[in-house]
Amino acid sequence: MNRYIAHDGHTETVAALREQYLAEDAAYIFGAFSEEHRLQQAIWREMLDKRPGQCVQIIEQLETAIRYRTAETEALVGLSDNDGLQRILKSRTVYVDITGLNHSVWAALLRVSLSACESIYFVYTEPGAYKEHESPSSSSLFDLTSTFGGVSPLPGMANLAGPDRDVKSVLVPFLGFESARAKHIALDFDPQPQIMPIVGLPGFKTDYPQITISTNEEFLNDARAYDHIRFARASCPFEAYSALFEIHRDNPGSFLHIAPTGTKPHALGAVWYALDHPRDTEIIYDHPIRKGKRTTGVGPTHIYCIKPRDAHI
């Protein structure tokens, strides 16, 4: 198993997010409070009370837009509306809690903030545990998703040109606990490109990598992809970024079709890499409709310094 030097970046991992870990003069963006334990962060209720003018709460996530609330207003903005999204950021320093945000939402905020903000911190809280399926099998141990919206790019991230005909295509699925996801995305290609999966190792829990491999065994066998598996720490977007860099380096001139269907930190690194390499990558996603109460408990919280890249937190 090859290990990779992480893309330059810094992570602070804490037991619980508290005021002392946040810059005072910053914008705080977070989702609606919900029944999942980790989506009831006390810190954001505290910030709504102490610094309401700096808070942006996303109260509704639609397919191509969000409805958000600030101390002054409530409004709807499209996920491809760069000017509208920039107005949300409010500050040169921004914290975005991606724990309860859909990929399409936080990816749009990342896209805009990279050029609009001087300091960017993304926050993610691990679950204590995932809800197990009522009838678990080797391919569906956890009960996470109701249905899927279909394979398509994330809003504002479509690569309309795509690869040239003579360019080698590589499909890079980040693997998770749902075996049907990578398999379904791969079926969207004809002919099927070479497949180089990425697995979270170490995982959130010690047994999660093995569960991921066994859950995706049929896909890995059918795609003859076992020998091409790469690894990146499940909680680290910087290692995910580096794994993609390594795949590009080892396959010069190739076009990467990246499917961020694993952990959310991996998805963060994947989207970030695609934004940095727009000519020879695309993000393809299956837009899952998540089940309520799919996790229990609260794990550690990670604060990722996305920008500046040489910052220490």
313, pLDDT greater than 70: no
- Residue 21 CB burial class (10 angstroms; 0-12, 13-18, ≥19): middle
On whether residue 205 sits in a domain, the answer given is yes
109 and 150 assigned to the same domain = no
The β-bridge relationship of strands 288-290 and 145-148 is antiparallel
Please indicate, yes or no, whether residues 115 and 233 belong to a single structural domain of this protein: no
Residue 70: what are its φ and ψ, rounded to 5°?
-120, -175
**147-188 pLDDT, tens per residue?**
777 888 888 887 777 777 789 999 999 999 988 889 989 998
pLDDT at 2: 45
Q: How many CB atoms lie within 10 A of CB 11?
A: 19
1 is a domain residue: no
Q: Are residues 180 and 85 in the same domain?
A: no
Same domain, 209 and 281: yes
Same domain, 51 and 106: yes
Spatial contact of 282 and 258, defined as CB atoms under 8 Å apart: yes
> Per the domain annotation, does 312 fall within a domain?
no
Domain assignment present for residue 138? The answer is: yes
Q: Which domain covers residue 142, as residue numbers?
A: 132-290
pLDDT on residue 310: 58
What is the tens place of the pLDDT at every residue in 275-293? Answer: 999 999 999 999 887 666 7
> What does the pLDDT look like over 234-246, one tens digit per residue?
999 999 999 999 9
Asked if residue 119 has pLDDT above 80, the reply is: yes
Work out the pLDDT band at 308, boundaries 50, 70, 90: confident
- For residue 255, is it within any domain? yes
pLDDT at 5: 47
Q: What is the pLDDT of residue 211?
A: 93
Q: Is residue 51 part of a domain?
A: yes
Query: Which residue, chain included where needed, has tokens 């509306």?
Result: 81
Range from 83-92, 143-152, 219-228, 297-306 carrying the lowest mean pLDDT: 143-152
**Residue-level pLDDT at 34:** 83
Instruction: Quote the pLDDT of residue 135.
Output: 59
For residue 156, give the nearest of 248, 78, 243 by alpha carbon.
Answer: 78
Residue 54 and residue 19 share a domain: yes
281 CB-contact burial (10 Å; exposed 0-12 / middle 13-18 / buried 19+):
buried
Residue 247: give its domain's CATH number.
3.40.50
DSSP H or E segment with residue 137: strand 132-137
Is pLDDT above 70 for 142? no
Is 276 part of a structural domain of the chain? yes
Amino acid at 198: I
**What pLDDT, in 10s, does the model give residues 245-263?**
999 999 999 999 999 999 9
Give the whole-number percent of the chain exceeding pLDDT 70: 89
Residue 2 within a domain: no
What is the tally of structural domains in the chain?
Answer: 2
40 and 153 share a domain? no
Dist. CA 52–CA 60, nearest whole Å: 19
Q: Please report how many Cα atoms fall inside a 13 Å half-sphere around the Cα of residue 261, on the Cβ side.
A: 34
Q: Same domain, yes or no, for 195 and 252?
A: yes
Q: Cα separation of 306 and 115, whole Å?
A: 12
Lowest mean pLDDT among 7-11, 67-71, 74-78, 106-110: 7-11
144 shares a domain with 213: yes
> Does the pLDDT of residue 102 top 80, yes or no?
yes
Q: What is the mean pLDDT of residues 218-238?
A: 96
Say whether both 106 and 210 belong to one domain: no
Least confidently predicted of 53-62, 149-158, 216-225, 259-268: 149-158
Per-residue pLDDT band at 4 (split at 50, 70, 90): very low
Considering the domain architecture, whether residues 243 and 140 belong to the same structural domain is answered as yes
* Residues 217 and 264 grouped into a single domain: yes
> What beta strand segments (E) does the chain contain?
10-14, 27-31, 55-61, 65-69, 74-78, 93-97, 119-130, 132-137, 140-142, 145-148, 169-173, 194-195, 198-200, 230-232, 255-259, 281-283, 288-290, 295-307
Whole-number average pLDDT of the chain? 89
